[in-house]
Amino acid sequence: MNNELTVSSAARETLPTVFGYIGIGLAYGIVGKASGISPLMITLMSLITYGGASQFIIVSMLVTHSPMISIILSAFLVNSRMILMSTTLAPYFKKESLLKNIILGGLVTDESFALGMNKLNFTDRKLNFAWFNTVNWFAYTAWAAASLVGALLGNFISDPEKFGLDFALVAMFIGLLYLQLISDKSIKFKLQLIVVAFVLVATYIGIIFIPANLLTLVVTLLACAFGVVIKHGFF
Amino acid sequence: MVSSSFVFFTILGSGIATWLSRIMPFVILKKFQLSSGVIEFLSFVPIAIMSALWFENLFIQHLGHLPSLDMPNLLASLPTVLSALISKNLLVTVVVGVISLGFLRLVLGM
């Protein structure tokens, strides 16, 4: 990374994350096809919903015939972290037009957010439209293309579970959680570990009586409230 | 399988909800600021939601009863966590995770 906020520097710096999008996008396409969803719908979901974890969840809830409203609510909740990331990013683009803000905001991802936060350390705390927009579009096109290819490959790989591909998502959460733990300096490391431990206990207890599609929401809201309380009580 | 119009409207609804989550802060924060209490609450969302989505996969739900352990996912998580610690790289972590579960299923027949 350097201090250049140009299209070419963005292209160079996005490359490592593009490999990630291709891997998970392929897995998503294959899992989607194996779940009986058409390549067209699989690709549309990547273009319209555009959220890795949420797309796997939508597929699994479609398979279990969940009501539409609870699928949409689950997708919203899984993606609600976008609110936080967009909120953190927005101040750096205050001088850009409203339209440019909407274009940038509409394609923010975990990875483009992380790259942006990293870039700030090299540019004297500055970001611009050209750089961030390039990062976003590389991610968006790689994700959609990989999803389509995965869906088409799915015709030949009928049982992706056999190869462990369904674990790609869980592994991604493990990786993102770890990267979050070591890079998020806004919350003390020990407090983060306590919240993660709380989530484990809350999941174990909650899974006894909370339906699977509501469990993530309930546990996350409880853990956020718990985190705030512990932070004020002990940190 | 559900009808493709059901799938399409689910995609559209999820897309609008997600898009609004993404753009509203950019639109609103051009004029207003979030209260510090809300920001503090939201600051726990990433670690909470990511660990919740992981831990849910370690248990098999039996509503009304204690869950049982999902042994293949639990065992595959160990090398995955280790590879995250060592590589600090998302792609490496995902590849190790997939290979681990694939190994458990194909070689050990779990």
For an interface test with A, which of B6, B9, B12, B18 has the most A Cβ atoms less than 10 Å from its Cβ?
Answer: B18
Nearest CB among B9, B19, B101 relative to A106 is that of B19
Beta partners for residue B68, in sequence order:
B60
Write out chain A residues lying below 8 Å of B17, CB-based: 72, 75-76, 79
List % helix, strand, coil for chain A (3-state, nearest 5): 80, 0, 20
Chain B contact for A81, CB < 8 A? yes
Write out chain B residues lying below 8 Å of A204, CB-based: 55, 59, 67
In chain A, which stretches have pLDDT less than 50?
none
Stretch (H or E) spanning A49? none
3-state secondary structure (DSSP) of residue A118: helix
Task: Please compute the mean of the pLDDT values over residues B51-59 and round it to a whole number.
Answer: 91
Give the model's pLDDT for residue A161: 63
Q: Is B62:A211 a contact under the CB 8 Å cutoff?
A: no
Task: Please compute the mean of the pLDDT values over residues B76-103 and round it to a whole number.
Answer: 90
Range of weakest confidence among A121-125, B97-101, B102-106:
A121-125
Chain A contact for B107, CB < 8 A? no
Write out chain A residues lying below 8 Å of B30, CB-based: 90, 94, 98, 101
Whether residue A196 and residue B47 make contact (CB cut-off 8 A), yes or no, is yes
The residue of chain A with its CA nearest to that of B79 is A171
Question: Which positions ≥6 away from A141 have C-beta within 8 Å?
Answer: none
Q: Where exactly are the structural domains of chain A?
A: 7-183, 187-235
Write out chain A residues lying below 8 Å of B1, CB-based: 35-37, 62
Give the model's pLDDT for residue A165: 67
Give the model's pLDDT for residue A162: 66
3-state secondary structure (DSSP) of residue B43: coil
* Cα A98 from chain centre: 24
What pLDDT, in 10s, does the model give residues A125-181? Answer: 899 999 999 999 999 999 999 999 999 988 787 665 666 766 877 887 898 788 778
Chain A contact for B56, CB < 8 A? yes
Q: Is A54:A180 a contact under the CB 8 Å cutoff?
A: no
Give the model's pLDDT for residue A21: 82
Whether residue B100 and residue A167 make contact (CB cut-off 8 A), yes or no, is yes
Size of interface A-B (CB pairs under 8 A): 295
Chain B contact for A34, CB < 8 A? no
Whether residue B97 and residue A49 make contact (CB cut-off 8 A), yes or no, is no
Interface of A with B in 138-167 (CB under 8 A): 161-167
Does residue B96 carry a pLDDT above 80?
Answer: yes
Whether residue B77 and residue A79 make contact (CB cut-off 8 A), yes or no, is no
Give the model's pLDDT for residue B48: 85
Give the model's pLDDT for residue B1: 64
B84-91, long-range: CB < 8 A, 24+ apart: B84/A174, B84/A175, B84/A178, B84/A179, B85/A178, B88/A178, B88/A179, B88/A182, B89/A175, B90/A17, B90/A20, B90/A111, B90/A172, B90/A175, B90/A176, B90/A179, B91/A16, B91/A19, B91/A20, B91/A23
Q: How far is CA A115 from CA A12, A17, A130, B23, B24, in A?
A: 12, 9, 14, 18, 21
Beta partners for residue A37, in sequence order:
none
The residue of chain A with its CA nearest to that of B73 is A167
- Give exposure, A87-110, as e/b (b: 16+ Cβ within 10 Å): bbbbebbeebeeebbebbbbbbbb
Write out chain B residues lying below 8 Å of A21, CB-based: none
Chain B contact for A72, CB < 8 A? yes
Range of weakest confidence among A142-146, A153-157, B8-12, B48-52:
A153-157
Task: Examine the predicted complex and report whether its ipTM is higher than 0.90.
Answer: no
Write out chain B residues lying below 8 Å of A31, CB-based: none
